[in-house]
Amino acid sequence: MKWRNKVVLITGASSGIGEATAYELAERGALPVLVARRADELKRVAAEIATRFPGVQTVCIAADITRDADRRRIQEQLEKEFGRLDVLINNAGITAHGRFDESDPTVLRQALELNFFAAAELTGLLLPLLQYSRDERRAIALVSTPSGLYGVPGRFAYSASKAAGHAWMETLRCELHDDGIDAVIFCPGYTRTGLRTSGLAADGRRLSEEQSKHARDPEWMAGRLRRALEKGGRRVVLTGFQGSLVYWLRTLAPGLLEWLMRKKLKGDMKKTL
């Protein structure tokens, strides 16, 4: 995949994996369109791109992708600026921690609203621009999580919202095959970002959790995402041991997987099932 002059829209580009992906692709000459709610953070990312990669044109669109009017504004601005889209990276997301029987019902709704509905509805609006592009390698990526491969206890809303995305992306891969548009499900392992303080706790308030000891840097993860897009064609792209373990155990030894999950729940929440 040649990145030079590819128009790449990244949601959630104001921090974490989305921000690192913008640098990763700008370095290769792509034209990043940065989407997130915090306009000041988007400007900071665009300024960093201008300093590090002079000549790269960056467009910032401050938008809340859960709002229909904002999604339409993104589509209109993209149409005005470029008239096409080559790669769409649905990366914006929140995590949600908590058992089902202890969680406020709004948590599930909020997780699905951003992680699934917003991504699907934005993609629906932008699809004609992807189909219109004559670029020979076009793709839609969903930045998901290994928690979308199997319902993780203590993460039911996060798992459900990402698993819905997997089913939708699998559908897209077949439906868009003849248009030459790839659909990549990218499941990063733990990454050092703001996810554990931007997500939701069971009572619907903001999470405040420590980073995992095993977390990778977002820059490393962005490199893996770029390579996944370049390779294309694979069903689910995993980046670490935990994700691969879940992937294989769910088919080969689901009983063992559930036993491990119950152990994890006990460790996580200091509760017995």
Ligand X SMILES: NC(=O)c1ccc[n+]([C@@H]2O[C@H](COP(=O)([O-])OP(=O)(O)OC[C@H]3O[C@@H](n4cnc5c(N)ncnc54)[C@H](OP(=O)(O)O)[C@@H]3O)[C@@H](O)[C@H]2O)c1
Applying CB under 6 A, the residues found at the interface with ligand X are 11-12, 14-18, 36-38, 41, 64-66, 91-93, 95, 114, 143, 145, 188, 190-191, 193-195, 198
Determine which one of 23, 150, 158, 247 is catalytic. Answer: 158
User: In the complex with ligand X, which residue's Cβ is closer, 103 or 145?
Assistant: 145
What are the two backbone dihedrals, phi and then psi, of residue 22, each rounded to the nearest 5 degrees?
-60, -45
Contact present, 217 and 228 (Cβ < 8 Å)? no
Q: How far is the CB of 34 from ligand X (least distance, A)?
A: 9
User: In the complex with ligand X, which residue's Cβ is closer, 36 or 139?
Assistant: 36
Q: How far is the CB of 268 from ligand X (least distance, A)?
A: 15
What are the two backbone dihedrals, phi and then psi, of residue 7, each rounded to the nearest 5 degrees?
-85, 115
Q: How far is the CB of 53 from ligand X (least distance, A)?
A: 20
Question: CA nearest 32: which of 16, 1, 56, 68?
Answer: 56
User: In the complex with ligand X, which residue's Cβ is closer, 148 or 172?
Assistant: 148
What stretch of H or E contains 60?
strand 59-62
Active site residue 158: yes
Residue identified by tokens 């992906």 is: 21
Q: Measured between alpha carbons, how far is 144 from 180 in angstroms, rounded to an integer?
A: 22
Cβ burial 129-158 (10 Å sphere, 16+ → b, else e): bbeebebebbbbbbbbbbbbbbebbbbbbb
Q: Measured between alpha carbons, how far is 45 from 41 in angstroms, rounded to an integer?
A: 6
User: In the complex with ligand X, which residue's Cβ is closer, 7 or 16?
Assistant: 16
Contact present, 95 and 86 (Cβ < 8 Å)? no
Q: How far is the CB of 255 from ligand X (least distance, A)?
A: 25
- Catalytic center residues: 158
